[in-house]
């Protein structure tokens, strides 16, 4: 597994600062969340810096204020446009995969959940095709178990993957999100063959806390014992900078 770090904990910093911090800490992958001040017209400086640290890049598409399952057509279209822009950025940065969040039920679409789920699937189909056209694998992230979430339960994810081949759609398995829905190890066992990316952080089983690895209840030994042949990326995705470095140390020992 190639161990990396997300920009999540460092979001107040410039992207150039983050690349330097992640590279100096010995991570081999940077996963950039393409939101706000981290968006660029020209990403060539990033590519040069990443190459100087021999780091790979994962792209996490924007998700703040977006909803690909929205029943408001203009919100849905804008959400798709911003994610497609992120995929194009991933192409220019020579990334291999892009992670996207599922849509969600809104206070309105909770009255029409079947239609929202249909829109969500149509959006994923369109984005998967767009990613393929740009040489990236689209990876859908499992959502935490909060009200209105789509694609949080294991059976939902398994059902989705049956509609796509491995080359068309992968999974970014967020072990912390999985733990809010049940046993994270069960998610790994069931989805192992389709996992292309991991989000690694801890929690105490109810809230999506993004704690340092080892500070919650998640069985990381059990997870890694079921990923012995895994060659994808594992991205530390904590909320605090110090927890990213602590998690990196602990994960290296487990790996």
Q: What is the CA radius of gyration of the chain?
A: 17
- C-alpha dihedral (253, 202, 39, 101), degrees to nearest 10: 120
The confidence score (pLDDT) of residue 65 equals 95
How does pLDDT run across 16-61, given as a tens digit for each residue? 999 999 999 999 999 999 999 999 999 999 999 999 999 999 999 9
Residue 113's pLDDT band, with cuts at 50, 70 and 90, is: very high
User: What SS3 class is residue 15?
Assistant: helix
Closest C-alpha to 252, from 234, 229, 227: 234
Transcribe 215-250 into DSSP letters.
SSS--HHHHHHT-TT--SEEEE--SSHHHHHHHHHH
The confidence score (pLDDT) of residue 18 equals 98
Taking residue 56's Cβ as centre, other Cβ atoms within 10 Å add up to 19
The confidence score (pLDDT) of residue 96 equals 97
Q: Which two tokens stand for residue 254?
A: 């487990």
How does pLDDT run across 160-177, given as a tens digit for each residue? 999 999 999 999 999 999
Q: Which two tokens stand for residue 98?
A: 């892009």
Residue 155's pLDDT band, with cuts at 50, 70 and 90, is: very high
Closest C-alpha to 34, from 25, 23, 45, 43: 43
The confidence score (pLDDT) of residue 47 equals 95
Decide if 71 contacts 108 (C-beta within 8 A). Answer: yes
206 CA to centre of own chain: 20
Residue 255's pLDDT band, with cuts at 50, 70 and 90, is: confident
Q: Which two tokens stand for residue 32?
A: 């950039």
Average confidence (pLDDT) over 87-96: 97
Phi, psi torsion values for 59, nearest 5 degrees: -110, 130
For the chain, list the domains and their CATH numbers: 2-254 (3.20.20.150)
How does pLDDT run across 132-150, given as a tens digit for each residue? 999 999 999 999 999 999 9
């Amino acid at each position: 597994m190639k161990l990396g770090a997300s920009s999540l904990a460092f979001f107040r910093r410039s992207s150039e600062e983050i690349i330097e911090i992640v590279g100096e800490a010995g991570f081999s992958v940077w996963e950039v969340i393409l939101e706000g001040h981290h968006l660029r017209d020209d990403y060539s400086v990033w590519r040069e810096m990443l190459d100087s640290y021999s780091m790979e890049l994962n792209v996490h598409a924007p998700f703040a204020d977006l909803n690909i399952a929205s029943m408001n057509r203009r919100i849905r279209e804008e959400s798709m446009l911003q994610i497609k822009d992120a995929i194009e950025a991933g192409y220019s940065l020579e990334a291999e995969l892009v992670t996207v969040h599922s849509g969600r039920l809104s206070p309105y679409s909770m009255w029409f959940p079947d239609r929202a789920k249909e829109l969500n699937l149509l959006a994923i189909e369109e984005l998967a095709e767009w990613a393929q056209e740009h040489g990236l694998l689209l990876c859908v992230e499992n959502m935490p178990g909060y009200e209105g979430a789509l694609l949080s339960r294991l059976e939902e994810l398994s059902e989705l993957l049956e509609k796509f081949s491995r080359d068309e759609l992968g999974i970014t398995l967020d072990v912390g999100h999985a733990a809010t829905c049940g046993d994270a190890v069960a998610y790994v066992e069931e989805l192992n063959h389709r996992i292309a990316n991991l989000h690694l952080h801890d929690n105490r089983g109810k809230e999506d806390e993004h704690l340092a690895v080892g500070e919650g209840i998640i069985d990381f030994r059990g997870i890694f014992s079921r990923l012995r042949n895994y060659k994808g990326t594992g991205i530390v995705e904590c909320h605090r900078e110090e927890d990213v470095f602590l998690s990196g140390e602990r994960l290296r020992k487990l790996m």
